[in-house]
Structure 1
Amino acid sequence: MHAIYLKINQDVFTLHGEGLAPPLRGCSRQPTQLLSNGHCLERLILVIQGTPAQSRQVLARLQSFLERIHLGQEAALHLQVEPRSDFYHSRLYRGDFTWVANSVQVKGFGLELELERDDFWEGATHSLPLSNRHGTQVSGGLQVDNRSDGYGENQLTWASGEVLGELPTPAQLFIIHDQDPTHSFRNIYTGMLRGIEDNLPVIEGELADSGVTFNIMLDPACNGGSYGRAQWSGNTEMQLFSWNFSQVFTGSLTGLPLRPYLRFPVGFVCEQDIWLYWTLDQDGLIYQSEPIRLETDRQLQALPILRLPAACSAYENLADIQVNLVGKAVSSGPHTLSLDAVFLLGLDGFRHYQALEGGQLNSGKTLVDLNDQSPPILVNEQDQKIQRTFQSTGAGIWLTPYEHQSLGILLDQGADMPLGSSVRVEIRYRPRVRVLP
């Protein structure tokens, strides 16, 4: 241990190393104790040598620091292992001190300082190197598109060795709107997958089979340049769109739950009271999702969770599986449902950023999610002023060392989902370790 200090806001109390002031002569660390609440107890032996007045002053200052922690002020213990190495810190929740037995001498005494802290240390903030078709291992922000075809990519990946540290750590997302001045966004969806090197596929509407009248329609405003149109009559359940599992998904995706988002072609208006749900068939029904009623005024809509079947370790090859979207109209008569594509997001980590009344992510602003239980903020890049016009739902995105991960992103304007839009995304994090010498 080279240096260690307490810190509340900008107030620093040095216990060992550079900046140490008399009568403190330094300290030594003792073995930590794991507590039942998930925190740990850090024990430090402080050596104090000075005049009685100096000793009273340092004790009063130490007691003041500990009382401020008890009052709820955010505090941390900072530690530097060796000269010129990064400092790590651990959040503090309470503290107390007692005399070290038989340590009181004419010229000084010892104190045992006990600090309840997080059971991990966090290092300095790093920018995670990200990769997709627009760049490889790019830090500071990489372009992400609002489509996934030959013209753009809505996913980011990072390799297993890119995340420093030993423990999972929360990802801080910076969604930078500086690529497209013509669109503003009210909803941003982010989903993460762990242990997957390949991008999630897109389920294209025009590549489906169907149990009803089906047509492929060319449309340059669609993902992939075309869409599928299903037409039927009556109010019975019908298999509207169907795909062969092996033609859409890779073997590494078996057993995963995914969040699908349906996109309608530009100009299509969904009629009222159309219900959809997923089924997976393998010479018999093996999965059926809950049904969901489609909205009439949104181009991008969340569909029920799609849970892919698990593989068997002893038998790797899955027999053919059909992935079906089953639909039902409440009213009788003719019906039409046009499907551009179904975009998929992982659920190993998820966040939905939704604008409050009147809020939106405009060009020149950055949405910042620090993943610390506080609401996301918008930062104006010109004057650095912030707005709190977004809210978020979902457990957030966490980074895991030594594991491939990918992040998918979708954006809409509330009613419309413009395929031609792009943003830049930066992910920052603080490496976490369990033990420091």
Structure 2
Amino acid sequence: MQTNARLAVVVAAVGVAAVAIGGVLAYQQVPEVLGAAAAPLAASPTSTPTPSNSPSRTPSAPPATPLPTPAKPSGTPVTTPPHPGKVQLKVEVDKLTKGRDPQLPYLVGREVLGGGGWSTKVPGSQSIQQVERIGNSVLVIVAKRPGKPGSELLKLDSSGEPERTDNVTSLLTTEGGTAAYVAERTDADGVPTGGGTIYYRTTEPVPPLKLQVPAAGGNGLKVVGLTDKVYYRAQDGLSGPWKLFEWTPGDSTAKQVKTVDSPTRVSSDGAVVSSISSAAGGQTCSAVSLLDSGKRLWKSCEHLITGFSPDHSITIGLAGYGANTPPTKVQVHDTATGKLLREWTGSFGGAVAEDDQHILILAGVEKLGGDWSKSSIIRCEVPTGSCEAAIGLTTSRLSISGR
């Protein structure tokens, strides 16, 4: 089975802006190669686990030293300690030592593993777009019909028959067991027509809370942040900047957050927000700002911001896009200053923070034509730059939680 799922992962993580990123930052350093000589980040078995029907007994990762995060955004972002060693690091995926399994939910073939829950197989043959967990339930976005628009959310648990929600196009969850997702309003062919419903649910066995978004000003709905509030974006028409909205679950209306335009992600603590803008020559740029005040901390036109660490101290970005290819670089920056802390190079499909110190990256081994012959989920440590294989190379389809 040929693995070429990385484009789907990148699109799910960053949206349509990915194809607009140009520019590659030129560095004078020679990348250090991470491969057979690299030691694992933690003691673990040496073989790739076989998915099973029993709950995972993999211990949680040791907690990273906590950084001073304010209880509420105070206008001062968390700063990171110094990170010694080389900044640029080349990853040879096929030579990495096996480490512990991913601590976030992940997909192998059609089986959802990790995240502290039971192994769950996704029924049917529909293409799987995203997997998450809340409590003992698995949430999966799948395509409704091959080759046509439209998707749906499946809620899978021990009750048996999946609970289905039509036209769900974006989904976020938290470690606290909450989820928010968008069901866009569509026509009979599955094409969005504007407006839709924002859902918020917890692990409690009760129906989700809902917010109806009207068609006017409700195009391109997407959940971009989840704290005790739901942050979503929408635009007035098919073009123009996205507007950011904040909804407190249970309220009948949402309010616009006017401190930032064209948001792409709100940090999980609600302190900072990333956004995109256009530059000369049609180039797309990313920026990081404080959510409360809108004060811009820094801007870059050389990579696309896709997320933050849980304490928002580091910002994750992707760079090195080709004309029709996914990124070749995963970067982490100091959120407060924009300083580049680490840059891993290879063939990648997306990246997400596993915790405040580790990044999970979907990576692959390329063959002629640009497709992946095999793929892997790797874990890279920000303080040291070291990487290991969280899931060894496989021909099965892989995906990581987008939390």
TM-score in terms of structure 1 length: 0.26
- TM-score, scaled to structure 2: 0.27
